Structures are given as C-alpha cells and as structure tokens.
Structure 1
C-alpha cells in the first residue's frame, strides 16, 4: 500500500512543506530506495520484496514524480534541496540515516545523502553526475525523446503497444536490456509516470551542471553499472571509481540502465552486500 507523508524542508524562500508518496515493507535496519528521473517507486518492485526479508524497506516517489506532489513553488530541484529533503523524509517516518540504494538520478541523490552524512551505506546503480559533456547531452536528449513519445501516445495506443514484446521494447528498450520481461501493465504505468512527471523539466535543467566530485571516505559505497546501459554508458563507472577510490565498482552483466528489472536477484545481492559492509565497519 502507498502512503504519504508531509514534512518541512528548507528552501531559499524559507521553510516549506513537501508531501511524498512511499511504500514500506519488511523489518530490520532501514533501507531507502530511490528511482531515476521520470520513473516511480514501482521500478523497485522486482527487488523490494526480496530486500524486505532483511530490511525495513522504504521506496519513495521523488518530489514531482509518481504520486508525490511537486516541490513548493520556487523551490529548486537540485541536489542541494532534494537530498536534504530526503533526509527530512527519513526523519519524518522514523528511519534516520538509512542504507540508501538509488538508480540513475536516485543513485546521484544517494551519493549526495552519503556526502551529507544522511546514509549509513550507499549503493548507486548507474548514477548520474559522472558524465562528460557530450555524454550528458546524449543522455538528456534521449530522456527528452522518451518523454515526448510518452506524451504523444494516446492511452489506448500505449496499452496496445505494451501487450507485445516488440511494443515493450519500443517503449522501454532505452532503459532495460530485457524489456520483454516487464509486465505490460508495469510498462503502461511507468510510461504514464514519465508523461505526467511534474518535476521532469526542472530536474533535468538542474542536472545540466551537475558533476559529482566528492570522495566519501569511511562510508561503504558500491557503484554498480549495467554492462548494457544504453543511457549512461558503462565507462562512467570508471570515472565514479576514480572520484570515490574506496568504492566497490561492480559490473552488472547483461543489465541495462534500470537493472532492477533485468536481474533482480543480482541487484538485491549487491545492495545487501553493501549494507553488510556497513555492519562490518560499524557504521
């Protein structure tokens, strides 16, 4: 069941209120799951039930995405606002300093939460912020094209496309290496989430100047990259490792940009290993 929580955030305009949708399941140490731009918390469904056997799993719709409300007017969608807001969210639901796993934009936010001391471990799956300028332009152009396609398709046409493997490949082949494995109803839902994301343009604009350049000493960090990522190319993982020398760099064989669907068991294992690293380190 999806719930909502409202909490106070700081902004350049003073305190404001954010309202975020989330799902919570399991018991144990808290584990926060963050999706990518244009997606929603359901991206983690192939993995979250497995992780809930050991952790208190909290999957969220980022502000302006999925069922979450947009940020208050005038509040920017940059790292400097959204990462602390996620820390405030965790405090509001009684899950301070969780393990954090994120994909794409969510991976970048997870790393920023780690930098701010808001995470006890970080698993970043194909995180943003390690691109060259041409790679960023390519990725942002692809994202805009996906959104334009989602907005142009009438729902009946979308539902017809999603019923076939070629149709699902046309809709989601940019982010999955095995789009045929995604259930038709899930493809419809995530295409509608991309179409309706109120925070998409502002988040993309805020990301244009983002380069993550911080080491995270003493924090268990895993950078994991799909070997078939067509959106953020796998060589960006090497840059991430250079930036965070203590991080573990993992290759997700035959996975695309959103690996939770392509190989749920592998992704769950990587997240679990990172969290266990925090336990061994006494984090």
Structure 2
C-alpha cells in the first residue's frame, strides 16, 4: 500500500445530544500507511504535540492525529454537548465512523490517554497506548494537577504575544513557559513553544473539560485489548506513582517507564515513545 501524503483536513458529522442531533467538526492530520492509529493529545494542547513521533509512526501505520473538540484548530462542541466522557467518547466514535476507521489502534497522552482507555472499555479500539493517562490520581493529586493546569492557562492568557515570542527565543524562556510538561524544555523549537502557548490560551474547551474531570476516576479493567501504560520518570504534573495504580486497575496492562521524560514524553524521547506505541499496536 502506498504511503498517504500528509494532509490536514476537517470532518463534520452528527452526534446525538439531549437536544437532538448536533454537528461536531474536528480538525486532523493524516499520513502514512498500514493499520489505523489515532493520536489524542492532552488538555490545553493540540495535535502538534505528536509531531516528533508522527514521521516514525507513519512508516508503519496510517496515522491520524486529532485536535480534540474545543482544542487546537477544532471548534468548540455545539450547544447541548458537554465535555464529559459520556459525550466526548461517542464523539470520537463518530469521528472514526466518519473517517472509515474500524477499531483503530489509539495512543493518547494525559486526557488523551484517559479517552483512549474509555474507548477501549467501549470496545472501539484494537489496542491502547496511554502515556501518563488522567484518571488514576488520588484526590490530592487531582487537585494539585488541576491547580497547576489553571495556573498554566492563566499565565498563557495573561502574556501578550510579543512577550511569548521573546521568551521562546531563549532556552531559559522556553523552560519558564513549558518546564511543567517537558523534562527538556530548552530543547523545544521556539515556534513550537509559541504555538502551544497560543493553543493553551485559546482552547475553548479547557474550562469545561477541567470541570468535567473533577469526578473522573478510571476504575475498570480492559481485558479485551492490548494496553500499555507508560509514564515519564520526570512527570511533574501527574506523578509516576499513578502508573502503579493504573497497573492495579488494569492487571493485564504492560507498565513501561520512560526514563528522563516529562508529562508530554513525545518531545523528550521521540524514538522511545514511538517504539512503545508500535510495539503495543503490533
């Protein structure tokens, strides 16, 4: 099969709501060839979070990197649709149907990892790679993470664009902007740091997603598909002991340590993360 040329596109489709059918629009990038692999980012981020690994993955998979509704280039969910799991997971199922993806492999980071596991629980996927997935926290850990995320969002919204661009030009500035989620923030490209700061600032689904997450705990086993849970050893947002809880909840999961990686490990060690995803989806 010939490799698919990278394309950025939008797809719109109908989902049910308490007020009747609503149209959801999602932006995505698709490239590569092979079995389908859906990539889901974390709260406040965008599909470009996966850029360091997409090229590696696309050599063996049909890769679809998604901007979740209300994040990145995807517009907010329409009136009548909440940002809770009961709404977003069916919306992702509708996305798969619209793109002709029959039970894709799914890899997700943070919020995306939780969504990937929820999709697996619903029987919608072939395999799951969950990188520092949300939902395995204690109440104190959840409060710490949410407070940190609100602070990051507040800082991003308070800074004018020229200040963001000036900070992004230096390793010290990039560290100040992104050290919460990366172990090696100084290695990030200045333009990428600017883009993700603007994505965090402009995320229309941020507040409602965070509010919906207050009661979220992932408590169910997922015995029907291969699952890998991977955690960065330097994750400062969701502490790595949460990976042990994930392993207790999903006993058949493979628990992988990502040495030297932060909360968004795709940038800290792209080769390692790509290998973990490909091994799980083989």
TM superposition score normalised by structure 1: 0.97
Q: Structure 2: how far apart are the matches of 1:73 and 1:214?
A: 30
SS in 2 for 1:217: coil
Find out whether 1:152 has 2:152 as its counterpart.
Answer: no
Among candidates 54, 60, 73, match of residue 66 of structure 2: 60
Q: Structure 1: how far apart are the matches of 2:117 and 2:19?
A: 26
Shift of 1:182: 1.0
Structure 2, gaps ≥5 residues long? 1-6
Deviations along 1:107-133, one digit per CA (max 9) or x if unpaired, are: 000000000111100000000000000
SS in 2 for 1:168: helix
Q: Structure 2: how far apart are the matches of 1:123 and 1:182?
A: 24
Name the counterpart of 1:279.
none
Find out whether 1:46 has 2:52 as its counterpart.
Answer: yes
Name the counterpart of 2:91.
85
Name the counterpart of 1:184.
190
Q: Structure 2: how far apart are the matches of 1:182 and 1:6?
A: 33
Structure 1, gaps ≥5 residues long? 277-283
Q: Structure 2: how far apart are the matches of 1:59 and 1:84?
A: 18
Deviations along 1:180-225, one digit per CA (max 9) or x if unpaired, are: 1110000000000000000000000000100000100121000000
Among candidates 98, 121, 132, match of residue 127 of structure 2: 121
Q: Retained in 2: the 8 A contact 1:87–1:96? A: no
Name the counterpart of 1:258.
264
Among candidates 27, 37, 56, match of residue 21 of structure 1: 27
Q: Structure 2: how far apart are the matches of 1:41 and 1:139?
A: 21
Q: Structure 2: how far apart are the matches of 1:26 and 1:134?
A: 41
SS in 1 for 2:87: helix
Name the counterpart of 1:219.
225
Q: Structure 2: how far apart are the matches of 1:200 and 1:248?
A: 30
Among candidates 142, 158, 181, match of residue 175 of structure 1: 181
TM superposition score normalised by structure 2: 0.97
Name the counterpart of 1:31.
37
Which is worse superposed, 196-205 or 3-12?
3-12
Q: Structure 2: how far apart are the matches of 1:218 and 1:208?
A: 28
SS in 2 for 1:127: coil
Which is worse superposed, 79-88 or 23-32?
79-88
Name the counterpart of 1:5.
11
Q: Structure 2: how far apart are the matches of 1:219 and 1:95?
A: 17
Find out whether 1:101 has 2:107 as its counterpart.
Answer: yes
Q: Retained in 2: the 8 A contact 1:225–1:237? A: yes
Name the counterpart of 2:239.
233
Name the counterpart of 1:280.
none
- Alpha-carbon RMSD across the aligned residues, in angstroms, is 0.6
Shift of 1:12: 2.3
Aligned length: 276
Name the counterpart of 1:281.
none
Shift of 1:13: 2.1
